Structure 1
């Protein structure tokens, strides 16, 4: 497939096995001209812990591999550091716990051309190890991203992992991600929200799906419920961060969140007592509601940008 150079970006932080899986899946892409691709690995560790792994991958790769070390912690810092080094007119993001099937990138590119889109998103399929039994359905669903059954334009947006962006459509083609979300995530939500207000076109392609293999430490309710709470904070925080701040939107999300937290919190309590199999799903909805209500300052949860322990 002829076209603009595509830069594949994989941010990573101390997940070398996942990095190997994600990167090698890009080497196996079909339906694209490999000479038109490059891979940019950005290592967001305090030390350059992924440098040797990146060198191994560069020796195997059918296209150029660039290693970037960004020691300043933060997911926005990492993405921006990669963007600054990437040469492509098109940017494809893959996380270091994801694996793209052979036709993944070709499906994204075809959808971008077909819909004249600025950003294309694809599904994510969570995959838990066989030894995970407790709340397995919920955990796999939590780490998945579902969307419409049919391809087409969207009136909303998803996260950066498993996406293709047109650089010319970005408000800042070199450093588009806001550092204010370095430690809590959601830097992609801020970017795509800004792009949407500026008239960007978003599309969805069901055929452009990837696997996601969460690290074992994340396969527990203690992690996912905290993460659900943080996800819930997103809409309220985005309204507060708008220019000018959308205080009416903040109030609306907080009110909706309070009702959601109370209703599903009570229901989750009942389901836990009765050992209902969908207890975790209900607790998740309660946590997201609470996050909409408690979104500021001391309630913000930091999932990213933490330095390695000494």
Structure 2
């Protein structure tokens, strides 16, 4: 029964994309369930097409190329979805590599829990040379969760996830293209699902590795993304027009920023590696305060294209 599609958005990272694809081709116990592996190429030049043509001759599963020429993370996900009608959708990012039992573990967890969205754990990998920030960056690009599979209240990002299309991905373009350059399209989707009574699950054995490229494996980039993560609770409250909720999150953010900024100052003076963690928490607190559009960092789409050419 071929009822699941693996969707991999990509933007000018051919070596990483090939690694991600080969990890899907090497899946154990689930290849007969894969209706398609869809690569959503977000490069206006369509640079991933040649790789897909080359790999089609050696893949054990149908491989589909979908061109998403307008750079943007939400647009790429929507174009990937439009290229398949599979009722179950697994998302893998192009900088990730799935363990051999990844998809089987996600499918088993969905059957066990009945969740609309399943998340799995991620091991963060960073290049050599990141020095004292290495432990922090590995945690930042990783994802931890319960040791047992089951339902969860914790919401994560799209990378390494499985979704029931009918309930979790409504309409032809469920990811909000307004978030193309900033990210957060998955937060918005999952918050709406949560409001509808949707259920989330954790697949404890669905491991992937995430390989942070050199341009992202820096403290500055991680703190910028931490700031964006911090904006999400305030932004989601604003989207619901829950203005008391916005005020509450801003107050929480102010308290967090004040406490962790002081801790960061002390740890920086002492040159302690733990300052990376306190700086991260400071950034997330600031994000809750400065959540409006003028403060949204541009992390995806055109910003990714600029980084790929420098």
TM-score (ref. length: structure 2): 0.95
**What does residue range 14-25 of structure 1 map to in structure 2 within 5 Å?**
14-25=12-23
Find the residue that maps to 2:215 and give its secondary structure: helix
- Matched with 2:248 is 252
Aligned with 1:282 (options 268, 278, 283) = 278
How big is the shift at 1:173?
A: 4.2
Distance 2:153 2:275 in 1: 31
Aligned with 2:48 (options 43, 47, 50) = 50
Aligned with 2:10 (options 12, 33, 38) = 12
How big is the shift at 1:154?
A: 1.0
- Matched with 2:205 is 207
How big is the shift at 1:199?
A: 1.2
Gaps of 5+ in 2: none
**What does residue range 22-41 of structure 1 map to in structure 2 within 5 Å?**
22-34=20-32, 36-41=34-39
Find the residue that maps to 2:127 and give its secondary structure: coil
How far does the alpha carbon of each residue in 1:90-131 deviate from its partner, in whole angstroms, 9 at most, with x for none? Answer: 000000000001000000000000111111110111012344
**What does residue range 135-214 of structure 1 map to in structure 2 within 5 Å?**
135-170=133-168, 172-214=170-212
- Matched with 2:222 is 224
How big is the shift at 1:36?
A: 3.6
How big is the shift at 1:246?
A: 1.1
How far does the alpha carbon of each residue in 1:13-59 deviate from its partner, in whole angstroms, 9 at most, with x for none? Answer: 01111100001100000111436431000011121111111112222
RMSD: 1.4
Find the residue that maps to 1:276 and give its secondary structure: coil
Aligned residues: 306
How far does the alpha carbon of each residue in 1:141-193 deviate from its partner, in whole angstroms, 9 at most, with x for none? Answer: 01011112221101231111000001111352431111121111010111111
Distance 1:162 1:85, change over 3 A: same
Distance 2:66 2:274 in 1: 43
**What does residue range 40-189 of structure 1 map to in structure 2 within 5 Å?**
40-170=38-168, 172-189=170-187
Find the residue that maps to 1:295 and give its secondary structure: coil
How far does the alpha carbon of each residue in 1:168-225 deviate from its partner, in whole angstroms, 9 at most, with x for none? Answer: 1135243111112111101011111111111111110110110000101111111111
Find the residue that maps to 1:250 and give its secondary structure: helix
How big is the shift at 1:82?
A: 0.7
How big is the shift at 1:87?
A: 2.3
The answer to whether the 8 A contact 1:4-1:89 is kept is: no
The answer to whether the 8 A contact 1:98-1:212 is kept is: yes
Find the residue that maps to 2:57 and give its secondary structure: helix
Distance 2:169 2:29 in 1: 30
Distance 1:171 1:247 in 2: 27
Distance 1:266 1:194 in 2: 36
Find the residue that maps to 1:39 and give its secondary structure: strand
